[in-house]
Each structure stands twice: as structure tokens, then as C-alpha cells.
Amino acid sequence: MTKHSTLRDRALAFRSLHVPGAPLVLPNAWDAVTARLVEDAGAAAVATTSAGLVWALGAADGDRLERGAALAAVARVTAAVGVPVSADIEGGYAADPAGVADTVRAVLAVGAVGVNIEDARYDDGGAPLRPVAEQAERLAAAREAADAEGVPLFVNARIDTFLRGAGGVDLTLERAAAYRAAGADGIFVPGAVDPGTVKELAAGVDGPLNVMAGPGAPPVAELAALGVARVSVGSGIAQAAHALVRRAARELLEEGTYASLTGGLDYGELNTLAARGR
């Protein structure tokens, strides 16, 4: 089997996991070891968190990382696991649609079979979201680049209306329709967890709906019943892990005690997992 056919098969397998009512559940990872931990826990696929990934590289989230550094980190994740990997590529690490296409080709080259592309803007003083037509062009470029490579990359269009306080259900559905028409496979609406809102979105989106869950959000079973096809947790696990680091460091420095370290993974188990080949 060629590398190309393997990538295509993995992409088809990943695509098939998006089922409304029986959602794909993704505990987001940010490096090789966290990806192996997620796979070892039984995940059918691994998705990166852009925030967790850039924090591990000593950078800030929000389209500030250089494409090469981001894709090198994704490459380490895909090399570490045997399940399909979806890469959160923020806005596409590019200023224009042609650049987004270059990023997608690089994503495929490192072995990922899905991408999240968001419509948020981070330039100072600008509107919180890209204009719909502009974002649709970027998504179309991603779709065309993947199709030209013969890989059915799952393009997950992230709509930041709720996350950035830029609109509600109606505006979100307008953007979703435009993004689907441009070639997006799924729609990701972080910040929308109210059951009534999620139900409206699931009914109104023509395609798989992804929501971002966390403390205070309905459990996966309830989200499934509302018609969700994909549940992820974004940077939530990374934030929890970093909270433990700070808590343990402060306890050690201020109290001279070690209670925060209780429940840590066994050294041998973690070392073996880190050394394991695919």
C-alpha cells in the first residue's frame, strides 16, 4: 500500500466517524506524548489544540505562530499515533487563500487528515470575524488543495460568532451555509453549549456539527441526543495540565510539601508510552 493510499484511507476513516447522535469524541492533544495518552485511552482519532501546541512552543495562541513551527509540531503528533489526526491550523497560517492552500498541502505532507480553520481575526482594531466571502475563499482554497492531492481531507470550518460575541444562531447559520457551499465538511461552533442553542444549530447546519465542551457544558450523551456529530475540548486539557504545574510549583515553593503530585502517572508506564513505536 502506498503512502498516498494510506493517507486517503485514513482520511475516509476519519470522515466516517462524524455521525450526528453518535459523535466523535476528541480529547485534544498538543504533543507526541499527550497524543499517545489520548490514543491509549481509546480515542478513535486525535485532534490537536492550537493553543496547547503553541504554548508548548513558548508562543501565544491567535495566529501568531509561524507555519513551519506549527506543522513540525503536528508532524510529531502524526508520527506518534496510529489513529487519524486532525490539525487545528488556526486561520490557516497564511494571509491569503493561496497561502491557506500551501498550509493544507503541508498538513497532508505530515500525515494529518483533518483541519480546523477559524474565521476569527486578531488584528488590532479590526472586526472580530473575517468577512464571510473572504473566509469562504480561504475554505475553498483548502478544499481545492486537498482534492488536487486526492485526499478527502475533513475541513472543519470554525465559526467564532459565539466565542467572540459577534452574533447568535441566525448569523452562525448564515456563515455555516456559506462555508459548506465553499467546500467545508463540518461546522465547529465553540462557545455554544446551551442545549437549546445546540439543538437549533444541529438542526440548521447542513452537515456535521462540532461543539467544544468543558466544565458546565452538557455531558457527551446529552450533546449526542441534541444531534451533535463531534465533541472536542479545545485547550481545556492543556489548561488543566498547566494549572497542575502551577499548583504543584507553588505548593513546593511556598509550603515545602508535595500533595499536588499525588495521582501522577507511574514513571515506568509513561516512559514506556513515550518510547513506544507506532
What is the predicted pLDDT for the residue at 228?
A: 98
Average the pLDDT over 237-256 and give the result. Answer: 98
Whole-number average pLDDT of the chain: 96
Tell me the percentage of the chain whose pLDDT exceeds 70: 97
pTM: 0.95
d(CA 239, CA 245): 10
| Ramachandran sector of residue 183 (left: φ over 0; alpha: ψ -120 to 50; beta: rest) | left
Taking a C-beta distance cutoff of 8 angstroms, is the pair 38, 21 a contact? no
Residue 40 has pLDDT above 70, yes or no: yes
What's the confidence (pLDDT) of residue 2?
Answer: 58
